[in-house]
Amino acid sequence: MHGSSLRLAVDLVPEGILLVGALLLGAMALSRSARPRSAQVLTALTLVVAASVQLVYLNGMPAAGYRVYSDGLVVDRYTVFLVPVMCVLALVSVAASGPLLARIATHVAEYHALILLTVLGGALLVAAREMAALWMALELLSLCLVLLVGVVKTDRRGSEAAVKQLVVGGAASATLLYGFALLYGAGGSTVLVDVALQVGHATAASALGMALAVAVLALGVGGTAVAGSLARLAVTTFPFEVGNWTALVALVAALTMLYASVAALSEGSLRRLLGLLAIGQVGVLLLGLLGHDPDQKGIAALMFGLATGGVTVAGMFAVLALLDGSVGDSLDDCRGLSRRSPLAALMLGVGVVSLVGAPPLIGFFAKLFLLQSAVLAGYAWLVLVALVTSVIGAVPAARLLRLMFVEDTEGDIAPAASAASAVRVAVGLCAGATVLLGVLAQPLFNLASGGAGTVH
């Protein structure tokens, strides 16, 4: 552990950069003179610098990483892998925000500040090794997500989604806090590693696993940060030899995959269909928690799936910004999309095919690695559930592909003129990554394995 305050500050430089960027945007908001372009550029630069500085830690980093603030946080290869991933996903969001900024012209700086604070909360969350630090980071992330979802006050759907996010997030937070109370009562410490050394009886592990499982079900769509933090929690806190909590996580994973695939069959909204496919991917990612033993490579598969799946999902939702105002929310509005907007159709096409798990796209390899870890962990039945739900999920995906590439529609509706070049670049890069990263699947997985091996 580093003894000097300077060393402690150095270990958290990326988080400090994100905080300074958010404060600068806050100052711009107070001045009421912020231009959308200036806020976007400042946010993008902050994210790029934070991600770059995070990667610098790889040079000479010890296997155990750097422990910060009395074991409350740790900077290791696991953190170094996930934080840049979150920065990249945030960059896609910033690039795709063009149409939205026109609707929140007086709150542009606040919007971008919330994006940086969301990444900050996520960065602290994946680094947390202590209950109070983890819970506070989770609250920062959750509250920022609520505000981002409801940023357009006049949008009924956004307001409804924000209220749902607040209620569900609050329930999940309370459940997780109850689980931490059980952990503290059983182990007598708020440091997760210390608790793991003392919590050994099945009853406590079962109750704690239930708290973990419910929190995952409620916040699973929260993204990379929540899943990454739960992976660290699983490795550092719950004993390998106690299987009660893994059984509960397996049940949640199965229910998540079944719900998403079945609900997608009759879904007629494009946004909701994409959301359901993303939720189904969360269920598959949970398989990595079940194989969290180092020999089963489950955490590495989870990290790989978070990075590759995150890029795919971000690209698909960036398409909605690209098509803002030119295509309705109904699937029927996507008829002939390949002829009206080839780039949007390409991203949606490769995105849904990748999430279903069809080769040779990157989603196939992510699902393959996760299924392998589940088999090694002894959950062959859950692998069968994943395969069946993938087949079910392929039905609505095929329907969307048919509408976009086979069927035609009357008239000639062009994409919205407000779609800036930044949105097109973001969509194009995400589509290219979804297709081309399949070639680099094994090197990327090896990189994730190096990070997973340092989780402690």
pLDDT for residue 238: 66
pLDDT for residue 419: 53
Q: What are the residue ranges spanned by the domains of the chain?
A: 243-456
Inter-axis angle of helices 298-322 and 362-376, to 10 degrees?
150
pLDDT for residue 21: 93
pTM of the model: 0.84
Where residue 66 falls (left for φ over 0; alpha for ψ -120 to 50; beta otherwise) is: beta
Interacting residues of 282 by C-beta distance below 8 A, sequence separation 6+: 220, 221, 227, 256
Q: Residue 205: which H helix or E strand, with range?
A: helix 202-219
pLDDT for residue 206: 42
- Cα–Cα distance measured from residue 394 to residue 265, given in angstroms and rounded to the nearest whole number: 9
Measured in residues, the chain has a length of 456
- In order along its 456 residues, the chain shows pLDDT tens digits of 444 455 556 677 888 899 999 999 988 888 766 677 888 889 999 999 999 888 887 666 665 556 666 667 888 888 888 888 889 889 888 888 777 777 776 778 888 899 999 999 988 888 888 888 888 888 888 888 888 877 776 677 767 777 877 777 777 777 777 777 777 777 777 777 777 656 554 344 444 544 454 444 444 435 677 777 777 777 777 655 555 677 777 888 898 899 989 999 988 888 888 888 888 888 888 888 887 776 668 888 988 988 888 888 888 888 887 777 666 677 887 888 888 788 888 888 898 999 888 888 898 999 999 999 999 888 899 999 999 999 999 999 999 899 888 877 655 544 444 456 778 888 888 888 888 888 888 888 888 887 777 676
Interacting residues of 71 by C-beta distance below 8 A, sequence separation 6+: 1, 129, 130, 191, 193
Q: What are the Cα distances from residue 367, in Å, to 162, 180, 257, 355? A: 31, 31, 13, 9
287 phi and psi angles, rounded to 5 deg: -60, -30
CB neighbourhood size of 64 (10 A): 10
Q: Which residues pair with 68 in a beta bridge?
A: 73
- Cα–Cα distance measured from residue 187 to residue 171, given in angstroms and rounded to the nearest whole number: 24
pLDDT for residue 42: 92
